[in-house]
Structures are given as C-alpha cells and as structure tokens.
Amino acid sequence: MKIRSPIGKPHAAIVAEASEWFIEFRAGDVNGEARLRFIEWLRRSPEHIQAYLEVSGVWSELPSSDPGGRFDIASLIARARNESDVIPLSPGNSRPPPVPPVVEPRAFHKLPRRAVPAAAALALLASITALFLWTGRDAGRAYTTGIGEQRTIQLVDGSTVELNSRSRVEVRLTDRQRDVTLIEGQALFRVAKDKHRPFVVRAGDAQVRAVGTEFDVYRKQAATVVTVVEGRVETYEGSGSAGTEAIVLSAGEQLTVLPHIVTKPTRTDTVAATAWLQKRLIFEETPLSEVAEEFNRYNRRPLAIDDHELQKLKISGVYSSTDPASLINFLRSQTSIRVIETENQVRVVRRDAH
C-alpha cells in the first residue's frame, strides 16, 4: 500500500518536490518570490517539512553551515511564531501550541516518519521559516552614505537602489508590499516587476508607488523631487491615504512635492536629473542656494551664502562632483561675487562686501 499525505499525495511525490527545492537552493537560483513559494509549500503539510528535512539533512548541516553560531534555533522559532505569515498546522487552533524542546538533529532522524507530532512539525516549520525570513528579506534594514560616497544596494526581490552622497534609506520587504523610506538625500530606484507587491517609496511629503520601473527621488530641504526615467509611477502627497488623488508620472516627467502642495508634472531632462551617477552636477538657471545644497553633499567644506538676495543668483553649467574646484573657480570668475575660502567653509559674498 502506498503512503499518502493528508491531502492525498503519495509520499514519493512529496519527496520529489522536496528534492527539487533542495537542488534549487543549493544552486543559489532562488529569488525572493520563490522563497515565499517555498515557505507556502512547507505550510501545506507536516509531511512537506519531513520530506525536505530528509532530503537536505538541514538539522545535521546547520552546525557546519553556521560556524559563527549566528542562528539561535530557539530565538528563530520565537521570531517565526510572531510573524504574520506563520500559521498553525493543527486545524481548529487559533494559536500555535507551545513549542517543545528542540530535538537534537541526529536523534530526530532516528524517529519513525509517522511519529512526528504536530507540535514538533510546527517547531520545525517555524525554524525553517524564520531562517529564510532572517536571510531572505530586507526587513527594516537601513543603508547610509557619507559625504562624497555613493553605493549600490541589491535587494532580494531583484530591485536595486543607487544611493547618492549623504543619503539614508530604510528598506522593508514583506510578502505583501515593498516599502522604502528615503530619510535623507537622493536615490535612484530600479524596481523589479512584481504585480502582487507594489514598491512604495516615502520621502518627506511624497509617496511614490511603482510595480516595475526606474525613477529618481531627491529629498531636498524644502521639497521632494520625483523624476521618472522609465515606466510609470503613482505619486501622492502626504501619506497617500484614502481620498488622496494620485498623480501618474510617465518616463521623462518630473514632479515637485512640497508640504500640502503638489506641482503639475513637467517634462525634464532625465540625463541631467541622474547626472550624479556619473559624478556630474548639471545646473540650468538654478538658484545659488540650491547649487550650494547640492555642492555640500559631496564636499566637507560647505558652500555658505549668507546674503538672501545672493542666494537667488542663477547658475548654469556642468561641474564635477568629485572636484570642488570646478565650481569654485567658476564662482571666482563672476564679477558680482567674491569667494572666501577657509579651512572650514567656502563663503560667497558680494563683491563690495568686506
């Protein structure tokens, strides 16, 4: 007589499925979406857990694959049981039963297959789920860059974040949504397509939703600027709560969001908006105050303009973000202003000022 699972599937078929999962993980070809499918497969039946453990020998391999002792099994079980996507395997139980003491790895293999109780199966599921949640998500992770530093962040869902100088983002990826908060600075997002999980970026008074696209978000001191390089995004003012109308931006469009104010989308030069990726600063009739804000992202000696009227002076040109002299020398050539350099700052004053 063939052994069948509670859902009527032969045990041999379950082992075959477990073997396929094991091979995929060993090959390293499992992305974030596949990891979620694997966890869902485990949750369907305790026999799925049993089969995967038999194939992979996960309990006996954990000590050698974790020589640093990073994984505390008891804490992983506790963490997994608090996750919203971990459900009890025993029908009728609204809460999982208490987790029994963890069975020693090699002792577990001596138990008859059918002798694994539901509570032990839950403990195993919780541990495996926690292990994949622990290593396969960007949950609440923060990334920062210093003055003049840029970095590329590869997320587990396949998306990438190009982080500009003096910037900070917090990333949280779940099975329902991909959330990023741009706390400071500027970032270019290349979003992997996932129609089931929108990619949401919050920055100041702006909220941007995308599925698969490329866009730049720059959180300035007074406003947040959103530029779409490829695809389309939905932009909201504030929290994007019910009743808030979305503004759809297409490739080549830019939007500025101020507190309680959203400007109309305008056509823009996306090359100029993302020139920072090539270490360039491109200004076109840009107020000197904004030029200084941009310059100060890359240089330890800040550009200071005390004169309010002088802050409105319009600047144009292409400058190097890694060579402050390119902009400073241009300012020196202007007849109406004077540049005073000290060890701590670069001051710009009127020519007749002392």
Residue 126 lies in a domain: yes
Q: Of 213, 236, 269, which marks where a domain is finished?
A: 269
d(CA 334, CA 329): 9
Residue 288 lies in a domain: yes
Q: Is the pLDDT of residue 37 over 70?
A: yes
Beta-sheet pairing, 346-350 with 303-305: parallel
Q: Is the pLDDT of residue 86 over 50?
A: no
Q: Is the pLDDT of residue 241 over 90?
A: no
The reply to whether 151 and 234 lie within a common domain is yes
Q: Of 136, 160, 184, which marks where a domain is finished?
A: 136
In angstroms, the Cα distances linking 83 to 27, 42, 76, 108, 339 are 27, 15, 11, 26, 57
pLDDT at residue 99, rounded to an integer: 41
| CATH number for position 336 | 3.55.50.30
Q: Specify whether the CB–CB gap between 257 and 237 falls below 8 A.
A: yes
Residue 1 lies in a domain: no
Residue-range definition of the domain harbouring residue 88:
11-136
The reply to whether 200 and 285 lie within a common domain is no
- For the question of whether the overall pTM of this predicted structure is more than 0.85, the answer is no
pLDDT at residue 44, rounded to an integer: 74
The reply to whether 144 and 265 lie within a common domain is yes
Q: Is the pLDDT of residue 233 over 80?
A: yes
| CATH number for position 190 | 2.60.120.1440
Residue 274 lies in a domain: no
Q: Specify whether the CB–CB gap between 193 and 157 falls below 8 A.
A: no
The reply to whether 128 and 17 lie within a common domain is yes
The reply to whether 22 and 143 lie within a common domain is no
The reply to whether 346 and 283 lie within a common domain is yes
Q: Of 136, 152, 186, which marks where a domain is finished?
A: 136
Total domains in the fold of the chain: 3
215 contacts: CB under 8 Å, gap ≥ 6: 188, 189, 191, 208, 226, 227, 228, 229, 230, 231, 233, 249
Give 260-306 pLDDT, tens digit per residue: 777 889 999 999 999 999 999 999 999 999 999 999 999 999 999 98
The reply to whether 90 and 112 lie within a common domain is yes
Pick the more confident residue, 66 or 333: 333
The confidence band for 128, taking pLDDT boundaries of 50, 70 and 90, is low
Residue 39 lies in a domain: yes
Q: Is the pLDDT of residue 243 over 70?
A: no
pLDDT at residue 26, rounded to an integer: 61
The reply to whether 201 and 130 lie within a common domain is no
What does the DSSP assignment read for 132-180? HHHHH--EEEEEE--TT--EEEE-TTS-EEEE-TT-EEEEEE-SS-EEE
The reply to whether 320 and 226 lie within a common domain is no
The reply to whether 149 and 231 lie within a common domain is yes
Residue 5 lies in a domain: no
Residue 6 lies in a domain: no
The reply to whether 261 and 285 lie within a common domain is no
Q: How many CA atoms lie within 13 A of 216 on its CB side?
A: 23
Residue 331 lies in a domain: yes
Q: Which of 18-27, 159-168, 224-233 has the lowest mean pLDDT?
A: 18-27
The reply to whether 210 and 198 lie within a common domain is yes
Q: Which of 33-37, 94-98, 253-257, 302-306 has the lowest mean pLDDT?
A: 94-98
Q: Which of 32-36, 262-266, 335-339 has the lowest mean pLDDT?
A: 32-36
Share of the chain above pLDDT 90, in %: 46
Q: Is the pLDDT of residue 102 over 50?
A: no
Pick the more confident residue, 92 or 167: 167
